Amino acid sequence: MVIIFIIYRRNQEKDAINVQNPMIISLAIGEYPEDPPAPEFEGYVPHLHSVDLDIINSLQLFQTKLNYKCFPEYNNPDRPKIEWNKQELMDFLNERAEALAKNVFDPNNPKRDGWDGLICTISCHGMNNNIITSDYGLVSKDKIHRIFSAPSYAVSREIPRVFMFDCCDGNEERKGIKKKSGDAIQDISNDEEEKISLIDKNKGIDSDSDESALELWDQFTNNPDHRLAVLHAANLDFQSKMNVCYIYKI
């Protein structure tokens, strides 16, 4: 048994992936104006006043203690940017995905200072497996992590990628979605016909721009989710009572 255990441990060490220079992306969305011009769902959500602390704590860990390169580069780390509209967010993520793919660590060129991992954290409101941007846009979580493993960035599938989403999710009743009628605020139950609805369900998925499964994964590349880990701070259908997500409906 001892010999078997030693062999097992050696195989584990052989297969382990050491990450020394990951790209860190730390984002938070906490500003939500009440009347955006083109919302992708009905109702409104309140500001997240303390969400900037997630970025501050993330930077203290990854940038200050571990000396990793963090993005975006905030001008004032004590007051980071917490207002992101959908187009702005997508442009930033696509820019980072391209930068990652262009400088992935090459084990055959050890002197090259390439990225050997990716850690992305996002804190914000969410619904139906989407995050909610400041202009009430909806972006699916799958869409976000697959930006970095798109066919043109298939080389990034070779390195570990970790995405952490700290946002409410689940059905309307469990995550505290509300509707507002006059001065009264009422819970929306599963039996009610009138619920929070998407103006266009496809908008949160960007179906027109998504590649099909066959386009994402061909016989010459790894699965787009190869070496991917996705963590949800709020489980599907459940959320912490400490930070309830209310979506009000007029």
Residue 248 lies in a domain: no
pLDDT band (50, 70, 90) for residue 222: confident
Is the CB of residue 147 less than 8 Å from the CB of residue 189? no
**Residue 14: its pLDDT value, please?**
56
CA distances, 86 to each of 70, 134, 135, 200, 232 (Å):
21, 7, 7, 15, 21
Give residue for tokens 């020394």. 20
Range scoring the smallest mean pLDDT among 10-14, 47-51, 148-152, 197-201: 197-201
Residue 229 lies in a domain: yes
**Residue 193: its pLDDT value, please?**
33
**Residue 87: its pLDDT value, please?**
98
Residue 250 lies in a domain: no
Q: How far apart are CA 247 and CA 177, in angstroms?
A: 5
DSSP assignments along 200-226, one per residue: -GGGGTTTTTPPPHHHH--TTS--TTT
CA distances, 131 to each of 40, 100, 195 (Å):
12, 23, 18
Residue 2 lies in a domain: no
pLDDT band (50, 70, 90) for residue 191: very low
Q: Which helix (H) or strand (E) holds 187?
A: strand 184-187
pTM of the model: 0.76
The residue type at 152? S
**Residue 212: its pLDDT value, please?**
43
Assigned token pair, 88:
């702005």
Rounding to the nearest 10 degrees, give the CA dihedral for residues 35, 36, 39, 41: -30
Task: Please name the residues in contact with 39: beta carbons below 8 A apart, sequence gap of 6 or more.
Answer: 135, 136, 199
**Residue 130: its pLDDT value, please?**
95
Residue 237's domain comprises 21-243
pLDDT band (50, 70, 90) for residue 135: very high
User: What are φ and ψ of residue 222, in 5° steps?
Assistant: -75, 160
The residue type at 66? L
Burial 31-56 (b: 16+ CB within 10 A, else e): bbeeebeebbbbbbbebbeebbebbb
**Residue 142: its pLDDT value, please?**
95
What CATH number has the domain bearing residue 96? Answer: 3.40.50.1460
Range 3-16 average pLDDT: 52
pLDDT band (50, 70, 90) for residue 107: confident
Residue 78 lies in a domain: yes
Is the pLDDT score of 166 beyond 70? yes
Q: How far apart are CA 135 and CA 40, in angstroms?
A: 9
Range 58-78 average pLDDT: 94
Residue 7 lies in a domain: no
Q: pLDDT: is 61 or 202 the higher one?
A: 61
**Residue 60: its pLDDT value, please?**
96
Is the pLDDT score of 172 beyond 60? no
Closest CA to 233 of 84, 97, 125: 125
Residue 82 lies in a domain: yes
Residue 139 lies in a domain: yes
**Residue 49: its pLDDT value, please?**
87
Q: pLDDT: is 164 or 107 the higher one?
A: 164
DSSP assignments along 75-110, one per residue: SSTTS------HHHHHHHHHHHHHHHHHTB--TT-T
**Residue 18: its pLDDT value, please?**
86
User: Domain total for the chain?
Assistant: 1
**Residue 15: its pLDDT value, please?**
62
State whether residue 199 is helix, strand or coil: coil
Q: pLDDT: is 195 or 14 the higher one?
A: 14
**Residue 176: its pLDDT value, please?**
39
